[in-house]
Amino acid sequence: MSLDTFSKPLLIGQVAREAQVNVETVRYYERLGLLEAPLRKESGYRQYPPKIISRIRFIRRAKELGFSLKEISELLSLRTDPSVSCDDIRIKAREKISGIEAKMKELGKMKSALESLENQCAGTGPTSECPILDALEKETGNGDKS
């Protein structure tokens, strides 16, 4: 179904199905303020405008790109701020890219450390003599024993 199919208010199940999220996700986004509180029927059922589907899809895609819900909230508010330009959004994207690059570097270090530990282990003998477990028990060098 396309958004054009919907011209009347939608129930939460319809919204979730079209946006490809769980009903609880819709409620959660609503509680966080990422979605406006919908009108309610006399029966208490939520009635969402059809445009809510594209907003949920925006949130879902932004999450897939690594944005936190707080950052997504900022992006949504910047989208409606007339004083904000595309360059401001580009800067946010660049900041996210820098963060991803830093995480990748850290993950690379973690991978190398684990590979080194794996190479020290013959894979035989009791766990009491396992070099991987022994290395994990040792002090890290910065005073942290936890």
Mean pLDDT computed over every residue of the chain: 89
Q: Is the pLDDT of residue 3 over 60?
A: no
> Mind listing the pLDDT tens digit for each residue in 78-112?
988 999 999 999 999 999 999 999 999 999 999 99
pLDDT category of residue 142 using cuts at 50, 70 and 90? low
> Mind listing the pLDDT tens digit for each residue in 51-76?
999 999 999 999 999 999 999 999 99
Q: Is the pLDDT of residue 4 over 50?
A: no
Alpha-carbon distances of 52 from 15, 89, 93, 128, 144, rounded to whole Å: 8, 22, 24, 57, 48
What is the rounded distance in angstroms from the CA atom of residue 79 to the CA atom of residue 75? 6
